[in-house]
């Protein structure tokens, strides 16, 4: 663009609403394990990356400290055995380039200007937004950071957030020492060992609470157990005159042999291949407690990278009692770690398991979990059923893959999302109403339940915001289509004006196959009907919460659903506009290619995906988006056919690679 300018123009930067940006970053972390979990993860990750003994981290330590002072609190973390924040204080222009690893100070002060991960050994962090979680953990959106380097340079920096900028400033040596004293009211002394320190000014209450109630160290132990155990890494927390060292959670017991208390599954140094993707497993260690359940945060198989827990994988068909007692981890060689890192989200809490090495690793872990459950936990009986279920899901998988690619290609329009009943601004609430507290489902990210699972914390409250007492009947029941399958409560109640009462729960609903015999979508319904003379029997309010038994709920995307037709066996299918804003795949179950594909999950998925790929080309033409086929109006029919084939090729490439 600049080549089209004379050089005389005064350019205007794009204004960023920085407070909103910080809130956005904090929200990203909240969606995973929360802000405080993110603070410890990013703090240790930055520090562990900068360790001087690259192999074993000898002499490395990180100390977290909560200092409570009259004027302000400080949450401080400092490290030793690290390089400190080396490098220069960079000018604005320099910050716009990719920065080498040695320019640590510059990297810490910029956002997302780091070398691409392919070029380096595998550092834990890279995208640079982690420092903003520290800013977000400050009530004043302000942090200080200081470093003492091997060459004796002491430097103090500050970052804060203003409406349209997030400025940084720094001081060196004597000036820096004086400034530190001024800014912290003398609460902190300059560093006397080589390393780095970050000072969160006035930490948010959530952070203070988590430090004081002991959860902070548990977060550390759960995330960093591998370096704590393998390298005896020292991570401590100081507050209120105490110093406590982080340790691996005691429930994360990793026995190497079967015993009366544990079933164990080990795989070591295995080269694996799934499809055309190869990877190397250093260790897969699965444990299942025979007598006790594992705490929620350690359940599942932890995907480890560089000593850090990224996320967990769990077999979705495992019965609840096994799922709740099974845990472990998997580690990989450096090459695999490097590839996995490319598939990680910016917060390092999830991996894209839909493609490349992510998908291969997931398949491997799930297969091993299945073998373990079958051979050691006596879970053989359901395997055939799982195979059938997987086959049924080929269609859903094809749709999800097409939706993912449609989104990548920019073919997706605005997708309507359901408005949540709670918290909608401007909603007019009924004076007399019934409401649910949030149900606790067995899996974090889905309202799917399997037989033998439990839905916990079903709580029903009735509110009377009217100015007179009311008398009503509350019914709580579970419905499958028009049929009531389970009555949970029927109770007459009276409520005084402007009061609310908790009438039911916390109830745990067991998903018993005898009651929830049919797979599909069920609703828990709470309904109140008047018992007052003037409108006896009339429904006053109703709330419902859906859950899906032995089925994944449909996902939002360009393709909404499939329609199955049987017709002339030479016709394969097409896409049609759906009821919402998306499209439906209509396919002919009488076509011989479809019939042939029905025998294998992969073939069926591939067949349907090819139809969907054609559908994407058609949608591209019909909606005139021209993301796949450019300028179709000026193409001869033969050229158009050629371009459609090119489009199909591009989609199939995205699908497989």
Close Cβ partners of 138 (under 8 Å, ≥ 6 residues apart): 200, 201, 202, 203, 204
| DSSP states of 320-377 | HHHHTTEEEEEEE-HHHHHHHHHTB-TTSS-B-TTSHHHHHHHHHHHHHHHHHHHHHS
The tokens for 254 are: 């990793």
Q: Does 234 bind another protein (CB under 8 A)?
A: no
Task: Provide, rounded to whole angstroms, the least separation between the CB of residue 9 and another protein.
Answer: 56
Q: Does 544 bind another protein (CB under 8 A)?
A: no
Cα 461 to Cα 2, 358, 427, 458, 602, distances in angstroms = 62, 43, 19, 10, 47
Q: Which stretch binds another protein (CB under 8 A): 218-226, 271-279, 430-438, 516-524?
A: 516-524
Close Cβ partners of 133 (under 8 Å, ≥ 6 residues apart): 25, 26, 29, 35, 38, 39, 42
Task: Provide, rounded to whole angstroms, the least separation between the CB of residue 537 and another protein.
Answer: 4
Q: How many chain residues bind another protein (CB under 8 A)?
A: 40
The smaller minimum CB distance to another protein, of residues 423 and 566, is found at 566
Q: Which stretch binds another protein (CB under 8 A): 47-55, 364-372, 431-439, 556-564?
A: 556-564
Q: Which stretch binds another protein (CB under 8 A): 178-186, 233-241, 288-296, 529-537?
A: 529-537
Q: Which stretch binds another protein (CB under 8 A): 125-133, 244-252, 403-411, 518-526?
A: 518-526
Task: Provide, rounded to whole angstroms, the least separation between the CB of residue 490 and another protein.
Answer: 9
DSSP, res 315? -
Q: What is the distance between the alpha carbons of residues 18 and 16, in angstroms, rounded to a whole number? A: 6
Are 355 and 37 contacting, i.e. CB atoms less than 8 angstroms apart? no
Q: Does 554 bind another protein (CB under 8 A)?
A: yes
The tokens for 323 are: 């799922």
Q: Is 55 exposed, middle or buried (0-12, 13-18, 19+ CB in 10 A)?
A: exposed
Are 187 and 69 contacting, i.e. CB atoms less than 8 angstroms apart? yes
Q: Which stretch binds another protein (CB under 8 A): 19-27, 37-45, 456-464, 564-572?
A: 564-572
Q: Which stretch binds another protein (CB under 8 A): 2-10, 20-28, 207-215, 558-566?
A: 558-566
Close Cβ partners of 237 (under 8 Å, ≥ 6 residues apart): 63, 64, 65, 66, 211, 216, 217, 220, 243, 244, 246
Task: Provide, rounded to whole angstroms, the least separation between the CB of residue 394 and another protein.
Answer: 8
Q: Which stretch binds another protein (CB under 8 A): 291-299, 301-309, 438-446, 557-565?
A: 557-565
Answer for which of 127, 561, 627, 650 binds another protein (CB under 8 A) is 561
The smaller minimum CB distance to another protein, of residues 485 and 635, is found at 485
Q: Is 21 exposed, middle or buried (0-12, 13-18, 19+ CB in 10 A)?
A: middle
The smaller minimum CB distance to another protein, of residues 133 and 585, is found at 585
Q: What is the distance between the alpha carbons of residues 302 and 284, in angstroms, rounded to a whole number? A: 10
Interface positions, 474-513, toward another protein (CB under 8 A): 475, 480-483
The smaller minimum CB distance to another protein, of residues 204 and 575, is found at 575
Answer for which of 111, 153, 386, 562 binds another protein (CB under 8 A) is 562
Task: List the beta bridge partners of residue 66.
Answer: 75, 239
Task: Provide, rounded to whole angstroms, the least separation between the CB of residue 652 and another protein.
Answer: 22
Nearest-5° angle of CA 321, CA 324, CA 325?
Answer: 90
Distance of CA 486 to the CA centre of its chain: 34
Answer for which of 268, 333, 539, 580 binds another protein (CB under 8 A) is 539
Q: What is the distance between the alpha carbons of residues 326 and 285, in angstroms, rounded to a whole number? A: 11
The tokens for 321 are: 């009692």
From the list 253, 244, 205, the residue with the least C-alpha distance to 225 is 253
Could you give the string, one character per residue 306-335, with x where binding to another protein holds by CB under 8 A and - elsewhere?
Answer: ------------------------------
Task: Provide, rounded to whole angstroms, the least separation between the CB of residue 360 and another protein.
Answer: 25
> What are the φ/ψ torsions at residue 61 (nearest 5 degrees)?
-155, 155
Could you give the string, one character per residue 362-401, with x where binding to another protein holds by CB under 8 A and - elsewhere?
Answer: --------------------------x--xxx-xx-----
Q: Does 536 bind another protein (CB under 8 A)?
A: yes
Answer for which of 16, 383, 484, 538 binds another protein (CB under 8 A) is 538
The smaller minimum CB distance to another protein, of residues 110 and 584, is found at 584
DSSP, res 256? S
Rounded to 10°, the helix 601-622/394-409 angle is 30
Q: What is the distance between the alpha carbons of residues 52 and 75, in angstroms, rounded to a whole number? A: 25
Task: Provide, rounded to whole angstroms, the least separation between the CB of residue 517 and another protein.
Answer: 9
Answer for which of 257, 568, 624, 636 binds another protein (CB under 8 A) is 568
Q: What is the distance between the alpha carbons of residues 477 and 520, in angstroms, rounded to a whole number? A: 17
The smaller minimum CB distance to another protein, of residues 52 and 392, is found at 392
Answer for which of 175, 563, 580, 581 binds another protein (CB under 8 A) is 563
The smaller minimum CB distance to another protein, of residues 30 and 389, is found at 389
Are 138 and 202 contacting, i.e. CB atoms less than 8 angstroms apart? yes
The smaller minimum CB distance to another protein, of residues 122 and 489, is found at 489
Are 248 and 328 contacting, i.e. CB atoms less than 8 angstroms apart? no
Q: Does 520 bind another protein (CB under 8 A)?
A: yes
Q: Does 566 bind another protein (CB under 8 A)?
A: yes
Task: Provide, rounded to whole angstroms, the least separation between the CB of residue 263 and another protein.
Answer: 33
Could you give the string, one character per residue 592-631, with x where binding to another protein holds by CB under 8 A and - elsewhere?
Answer: ------x---------------------------------
Answer for which of 115, 139, 456, 473 binds another protein (CB under 8 A) is 473
Answer for which of 238, 376, 551, 625 binds another protein (CB under 8 A) is 551
Three-state secondary-structure class, residue 552: coil
Answer for which of 535, 602, 623, 639 binds another protein (CB under 8 A) is 535
Q: Does 169 bind another protein (CB under 8 A)?
A: no
For residue 506, say if its preceding peptide bond is cis, omega within 30 degrees of 0.
Answer: yes
> What are the φ/ψ torsions at residue 362 (nearest 5 degrees)?
-60, -45
The smaller minimum CB distance to another protein, of residues 354 and 567, is found at 567
| DSSP states of 68-108 | E-SS-EEEEEEEESB--S-S----TTGGGS---TT-HHHHH
Instruction: Count how many residues are written for the chain.
Output: 657
Q: Which stretch binds another protein (CB under 8 A): 356-364, 427-435, 531-539, 642-650?
A: 531-539
Are 591 and 610 contacting, i.e. CB atoms less than 8 angstroms apart? no
Binding stretches for another protein (CB under 8 A): 388, 391-393, 395-396, 473, 475, 480-483, 518-521, 527, 529-531, 535-539, 551-552, 554, 561-568, 571, 574, 589, 598
């Amino acid at each position: 663009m600049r080549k089209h300018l004379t050089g005389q123009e005064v350019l205007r930067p794009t204004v960023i609403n920085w407070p909103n940006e910080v809130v956005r970053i904090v929200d990203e972390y909240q969606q995973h394990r929360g802000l405080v979990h993110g603070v410890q993860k990013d703090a240790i990750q930055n520090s562990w990356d900068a360790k001087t003994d690259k192999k074993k981290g000898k002499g490395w330590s990180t100390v977290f400290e909560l200092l409570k002072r009259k004027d302000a609190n400080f949450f401080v973390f400092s490290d030793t055995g690290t390089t400190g924040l080396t490098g220069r204080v960079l000018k604005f222009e320099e910050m716009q380039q990719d920065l080498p690893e040695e320019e640590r100070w510059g990297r810490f002060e910029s956002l997302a200007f780091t070398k691409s991960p392919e070029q380096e050994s595998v550092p834990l962090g890279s995208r640079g937004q982690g420092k903003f979680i520290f800013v977000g953990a400050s009530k004043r959106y302000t942090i200080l950071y200081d470093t003492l380097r091997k060459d004796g340079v002491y430097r103090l920096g500050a970052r804060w957030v203003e409406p349209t900028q997030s400025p940084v400033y720094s001081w060196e040596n004597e000036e820096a020492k004086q400034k530190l004293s001024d800014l912290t009211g003398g609460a902190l002394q300059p560093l006397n060992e080589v390393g780095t320190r970050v000072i969160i000014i006035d930490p948010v209450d959530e952070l203070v609470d988590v430090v004081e109630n002991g959860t902070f160290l548990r977060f550390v132990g759960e995330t960093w157990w591998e370096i704590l155990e393998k390298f005896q890494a020292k991570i401590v927390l100081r507050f209120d005159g105490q110093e406590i060292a982080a340790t691996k959670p005691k429930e994360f017991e990793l026995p190497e042999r079967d015993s009366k208390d544990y079933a164990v599954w080990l795989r070591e140094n295995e080269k694996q291949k799934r499809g055309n993707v190869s990877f190397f497993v250093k260790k897969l260690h699965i444990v299942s407690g025979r007598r006790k359940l594992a705490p929620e945060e350690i359940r599942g198989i932890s995907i480890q990278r560089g000593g850090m827990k990224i996320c967990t994988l769990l077999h979705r068909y495992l019965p609840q009692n096994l799922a709740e007692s099974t845990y472990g981890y998997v580690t990989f060689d450096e090459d695999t770690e490097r590839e996995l890192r490319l598939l990680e989200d910016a917060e390092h809490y999830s991996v894209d398991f839909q493609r490349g090495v992510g998908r291969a690793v997931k398949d491997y872990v799930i297969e091993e979990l299945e073998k373990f459950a079958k051979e050691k936990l006596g879970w053989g009986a359901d395997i055939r059923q799982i195979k059938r279920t997987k086959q049924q899901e080929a269609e859903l998988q094809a749709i999800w893959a097409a939706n993912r690619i449609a989104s990548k290609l920019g073919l997706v329009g605005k997708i309507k999302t359901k408005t949540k009943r709670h918290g909608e601004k401007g909603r007019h609430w009924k004076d007399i109403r019934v409401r649910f507290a949030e149900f606790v489902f067995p899996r974090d990210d889905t309202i799917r339940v399997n037989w033998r699972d439990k839905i916990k914390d079903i709580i029903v409250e009735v509110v009377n915001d009217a100015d007179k007492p009311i008398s009503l009947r509350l019914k709580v029941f579970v419905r499958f289509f028009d049929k009531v399958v389970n009555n949970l409560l029927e109770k007459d109640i009276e409520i005084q004006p402007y009061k609310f009462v908790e009438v039911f729960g916390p109830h745990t609903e067991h998903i018993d196959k005898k009651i929830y015999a049919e797979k599909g979508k069920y609703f828990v319904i709470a309904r109140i009907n008047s018992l007052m003379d003037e409108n006896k029997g009339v429904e006053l309010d109703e709330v419902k919460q859906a859950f899906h038994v032995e089925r994944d709920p449909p996902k939002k995307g360009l393709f909404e659903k499939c329609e199955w037709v049987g017709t002339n066996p030479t016709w394969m299918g097409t896409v049609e506009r759906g009821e919402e804003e998306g499209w439906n795949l209509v396919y002919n179950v009488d076509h011989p290619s479809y019939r042939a594909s029905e025998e294998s999950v992969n073939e069926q998925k591939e067949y349907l995906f090819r139809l969907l790929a054609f559908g994407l080309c058609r949608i591209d033409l019909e909606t005139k988006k021209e993301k796949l086929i450019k300028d179709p109006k000026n193409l001869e029919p033969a050229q158009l056919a050629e371009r459609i084939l090119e489009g199909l090729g591009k989609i199939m490439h995205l699908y497989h690679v």
